[in-house]
Structure 1
Amino acid sequence: MYRERYEDWRHVFKLDPDREIDDELLDRLCLSGTDAIMVGGSSGVTFEKVVDLLARIRRYEVPCALEVSDLEAAVPGYDLYLIPMVLNTSRTEWLTGKQVEGLQAYGSYIPWENTAAEGYLILNPDAEAARLTGADCGLDAAAAMAHVRLADRLMRLPIVYVEYSGRFGDMKLVAQAAELVTQARLFYGGGIDSASKAAEAAAAAHTVIVGNVVYEDPEAALATVAAVRDTAFARN
């Protein structure tokens, strides 16, 4: 089952197919000890770019997951397919619309045993993903936790992803969300640009996603692997 493919992930590097990465850095990332490589982006994602990145990652043994945010990015060959559903948007196309469109086009070909839904809670209004999806990023803690309960207990989504893309988030809120879920795994991503922030996130969330810093400061990105591995998830 797909849950076995990510239930032990603590650290994940997220790579954007629309951004350049050289072979030397990709080699270091894939051999860093990270639990997985996730491929996904908010814009500029094409079939050709996703295929190219997959072919390069496949030279290594590290598990590789694809976030299918656009039908253009539906490429076979990944270990796991993650289907984002934006919880805090009023635009239904980002909650069920695009997903239904994808099922109409590819429903008979989807490897369901390797496919899981992600309930995204986007909380940085300046993020490209927030602008694209019309996410309501002004939620207070109570409203945010209501969305977490919606995803975990009503929708029974296997992953809840708290996303602050481009900004380091409220770790108290992230920890509250991680403690609240009963069956979902809590992913956190956003603003992790140092080992110390990676450790903070690792104490609050089940799985830490490291993205932008890969392109901005590769050495800092690589340092996050050990920081996460050395930090226990702090249950209250």
Structure 2
Amino acid sequence: MSLEWEQITHITKVDPAKPLPSDLGVLEGTDLVIVGGSDGVTEENTIDAIESIANTYPSVPVFQEPYSAAHVSRETIETADFVAVPAVFNGDRTHFVGKHTALFTEIARKPEDLLGASLPVVGNFIESKGVDAVADLTETLVGEGYVVQHLDSAAASVSGVDTTYTPEQVAGAALATETFYGFPIFYIEYSGTYGGTDDVEAAARYLEDTQLVYGGGIDNQEKATAVLEAGADAIVVGDCFHDDPAQFRATIPK
């Protein structure tokens, strides 16, 4: 499946450890779905969530965004359209460069050397699932430049984030994402709390080809519109998808 980024303005974040709404028709109008979470996520519930969404809306791209190697397997790779891999600028070294360097070091080795390897993103499923899984994974990887701005969040805890960025630092991370790293996505993550538009405005000045994505506290049309008008290419809505589907519907741009 190819991605038409210019048509993506509304992204739904689905936590596979949480129950899905009884009527997945609430997703009508969303442009992309990201499946991932930090607590209670398993290979099984990840696949169940992806398949439920894909069966209801087969034309909507579905990303898996793993927080742990245990969340990824050959089956999840085959079920999702893409695997999104965050590089967290304000996280610890492991969550920015460490796991990615190790991953591609292993991929670059001869296939026989991969057997039994432990890769940070794909875990130790290589031995049991087969070397072909590595090739499949590299074809579907999508790098994300990431800034986590809510310290009291699971995303911050998992990524080793202990300080937030100023708008100027967010702008610098955005510029690095596009001009140095070449990732297709720059993601400003406020994880359950609304961060306003300052960071979005700062980052938008430096992005032309990279998609600027904002997530956090979007629970009505006014906030969604404000963030998009500030320069975001897309908003991510998660909590109210699970907690209040009617409120979630109000976030989808008309």
Shorter-normalised TM range: 0.7 to 0.9
- Structure 1 equivalent of residue 121 of structure 2: 102
Partner of 1:190: 216
**Which residue of structure 1 lines up, in the alignment, with residue 9 of structure 2?**
10
Determine if contact 1:130/1:137 at 8 Å carries over to the other structure: no
State the 1:136 CA deviation: 4.1
Query: Percent identity between the aligned chains?
Result: 30
For 2:235, the equivalent position in structure 1 comes to 208
In the alignment, the residues of structure 2 paired with residue 181 and residue 93 of structure 1 have an alpha-carbon distance, to the nearest angstrom, of 26
Structure 1 residues 209 and 63: CA distance shift in structure 2, 3 A: same
Amino acid at match of 2:241: V
Contact 2:9 2:233 in 1 (8 A): yes
Q: Deviations over 1:174-223 (max 9, x none)?
A: 12212211321101000011121111122121011111111222111111
Q: Are 1:161 and 1:186, in contact at CA under 8 Å, matched by a contact in 2?
A: yes
TM superposition score normalised by structure 1: 0.85
Give 1:83 deviation, angstroms: 1.0
CA 1:7–1:42: 2 relative to 1, 3 Å:
farther
Q: Deviations over 1:55-97 (max 9, x none)?
A: 21121222222113222222122122211111112x2211133
Distance 1:168 1:160 in 2: 18
- State the alpha-carbon separation in 2 of the partners of residues 11 and 179 from structure 1: 21
Q: TM-score scaled to structure 2, two decimals? A: 0.80
Tell me the equivalent position of 1:70: 68
Counterpart Cα distance in 1 of 2:153 and 2:22 = 28
Q: CA deviation at 1:111?
A: 5.0
Point out where structure 2 has 5 or more consecutive residues left out of the alignment: 104-119, 127-132
Greater Cα shift, 46-55 or 178-187 = 178-187
Counterpart in 2 of 1:232? none
Provide the C-alpha distance between the structure 2 equivalents of 1:39 and 1:144, rounded to a whole number of angstroms: 25
Q: Is the contact made by 2:170 and 2:202 (CA closer than 8 Å) also made in structure 1?
A: no
1:123 correspondence with 2:121: no
Larger radius of gyration: 2
Q: Does 1:49 align with 2:45?
A: yes
CA 1:220/1:163 → structure 2, altered by over 3 Å: closer, same or farther?
same
- Give me the whole-angstrom Cα distance separating, in 1, the residues matched to 2:137 and 2:63: 14
Compute the displacement of 1:120 (Å).
0.8
SS at match of 1:69: coil
Tell me how large the CA RMSD over aligned residues is.
2.0
The count of aligned residue pairs is 221
Q: Does 1:222 align with 2:249?
A: yes
Check the 8 A contact 2:145/2:183 in 1, yes or no.
yes
1:150 to 172, 176, 196: 176
Q: Where does the alignment leave 5 or more consecutive residues of structure 1 unmatched?
A: 230-236
Do 2:177 and 2:183's aligned partners in 1 also have CA atoms closer than 8 Å? yes
Greater than 4 Å deviation, 4+ residue runs: 103-106
Q: Distance in 1 between matches of 2:157 and 2:221?
A: 29
1:134 aligns with 2:160: yes
